[in-house]
Structure 1
Amino acid sequence: MPTDCISYQNSGYFSPLMNDYLDQKNNLHSLYNRFPTPENFEGQILEKQANFDNSNRVTLVSVLQKQYASIETSHLTLQNIEALKVNNTFTVTTGHQLNLFTGPLYFLYKIISTINLTKELKAKYPAYNFVPIYWMATEDHDFEEINYFNFKGKKFRWNKESTGPVGRLSTEGLSDVFELYSQELGSSTNAETLKNLFKDAYLNYDNLADATRHLANALFGAQGLVILDADDADLKRSFIPFAKEELLNQTSHKAVLETTEKLKKYNIQVNPREINLFYIEDKMRERIIPEEGKYKINNTKIEYSEDEILTLLDTNPEMFSPNVIMRPLYQEVILPNLCYIGGGGEIAYWLELKSFFDTVKVTFPMLLVRNSVLLATEKQLKKADKLELTWSDLFSKQADLVNTKTIQLSEFPIDMSTLKHQLEEQFKALYEITKLTDKSFVGAVKAQEVKQTKGLDNLEKRLLKAQKRKLSTILERITDLQNELFPNKSLQERQANFSEFYLESGANLIPTVIDTLKPLEQNFNIITLS
Structure 2
Amino acid sequence: MRAYEFDKLPGFSKLFCDYINHNPFFDERFPSNKLLNDNSIYLKSISDNYKNRNSIKSIIEKSTNNIELNNKQKENLEKLGQPDTLTVVTGQQVGFLGGPLYTIIKIFTAINLANKLSNKYQDLNFIPVFWIEDNDHDNLEASQATIYNAEYELKHLSCMEGLSKEDRTCVSERKFDDSIFKAISNAIESLAESQFKESLINKLNTIYKPEIKWNDAFISLLNSWFADKGLLYIKASEARQSRLFRELILKELENIGKTKQIINDANQKIEKSGYHIQAKAYEVNVFIHENEKRYKIIKTKYDNLTFEYDSRLISLDELKQKAEKEPELFSPAVLMRPVFQDYILPTAVYIGGPSEIGYSTQIKELYDYFNVSMPAFLPRHSSTFINTQIQSFLEKQKIEPIYFTKQFDEIEKELNDILFDKEVEKVFEKARKQINDNYEEIQNVLSKIDATLIRTGASACHKSLENLLWLEKKVNSAQKRVNQLIYDKFRQISNYFFPEGTMQERMFSAINFMNEIGEEQILKMIDEFTKAEPERHYYLKMES
1:497 aligns to 2:509 (yes or no) = yes
AA in 1 matched with 2:161: N
CA distance in 1, matches of 2:41, 2:399: 44
Give the match for residue 443 of structure 1: none
AA in 2 matched with 1:31: R
Structure 1 residue 276: Cα displacement? 0.4
**What are the ranges of 5 or more consecutive residues in structure 1 without an aligned counterpart?**
411-465
Structure 1 residue 233: Cα displacement? 6.4
CA distance in 1, matches of 2:311, 2:76: 43
CA distance in 1, matches of 2:498, 2:42: 38
- Report the secondary structure of 1:90's partner residue: strand
Match 2:161 to one of 156, 159, 162: 159
Give the match for residue 513 of structure 1: 526
Give the match for residue 348 of structure 2: 338
Give the match for residue 456 of structure 1: none
Segment drifting more, 237-246 vs 269-278: 237-246
CA distance in 1, matches of 2:494, 2:194: 28
- Report the secondary structure of 2:91's partner residue: strand
Give TM-score, length-normalised by structure 2.
0.79
- Relative distance call for 1:119 and 1:345 in structure 2 (3 A) is same
Give the match for residue 12 of structure 1: 10
Structure 1 residue 397: Cα displacement? 6.3
Give the match for residue 365 of structure 1: 375
Give the match for residue 323 of structure 1: 333
Give the match for residue 303 of structure 1: 314
- Relative distance call for 1:186 and 1:19 in structure 2 (3 A) is closer
- Within 5 Å, which residues of 2 pair with 1:260-275? 260-264=267-271, 265-275=274-284
Contact 1:44–1:338 (CA under 8 A) maintained in structure 2: no
Give the match for residue 486 of structure 1: 498
Q: How many residues matched?
A: 473
Contact 1:94–1:341 (CA under 8 A) maintained in structure 2: yes
Structure 1 residue 330: Cα displacement? 0.7
**What are the ranges of 5 or more consecutive residues in structure 2 without an aligned counterpart?**
149-153, 421-475
- Report the secondary structure of 1:5's partner residue: strand
CA distance in 2, matches of 1:397, 1:180: 27
CA distance in 2, matches of 1:222, 1:358: 37
Give TM-score, length-normalised by structure 1.
0.80
Contact 1:138–1:167 (CA under 8 A) maintained in structure 2: yes
Segment drifting more, 356-365 vs 283-292: 283-292
Structure 1 residue 374: Cα displacement? 0.9
Segment drifting more, 352-361 vs 513-522: 513-522
Structure 1 residue 93: Cα displacement? 0.9
CA distance in 2, matches of 1:344, 1:514: 20
- Report the secondary structure of 2:65's partner residue: coil
Match 1:389 to one of 395, 399, 403: 399
Contact 1:4–1:390 (CA under 8 A) maintained in structure 2: no
Structure 1 residue 501: Cα displacement? 1.3
1:523 aligns to 2:532 (yes or no) = no
- Report the secondary structure of 1:382's partner residue: helix
Percent identity of equivalent pairs? 24
Contact 1:34–1:40 (CA under 8 A) maintained in structure 2: no
AA in 1 matched with 2:174: L
CA distance in 1, matches of 2:415, 2:182: 46
- Report the secondary structure of 1:210's partner residue: helix
AA in 2 matched with 1:317: P
Contact 1:59–1:234 (CA under 8 A) maintained in structure 2: no
Contact 1:114–1:341 (CA under 8 A) maintained in structure 2: yes
Q: 1:313-332 CA deviation, whole Å, 9 max, x = no partner?
A: 22211101111021111101
- Report the secondary structure of 1:203's partner residue: coil
- Relative distance call for 1:46 and 1:179 in structure 2 (3 A) is same
CA distance in 1, matches of 2:419, 2:202: 49
Give the match for residue 364 of structure 2: 354
Match 1:111 to one of 107, 114, 135: 107
Contact 2:177–2:211 (CA under 8 A) maintained in structure 1: no
Contact 1:80–1:224 (CA under 8 A) maintained in structure 2: yes
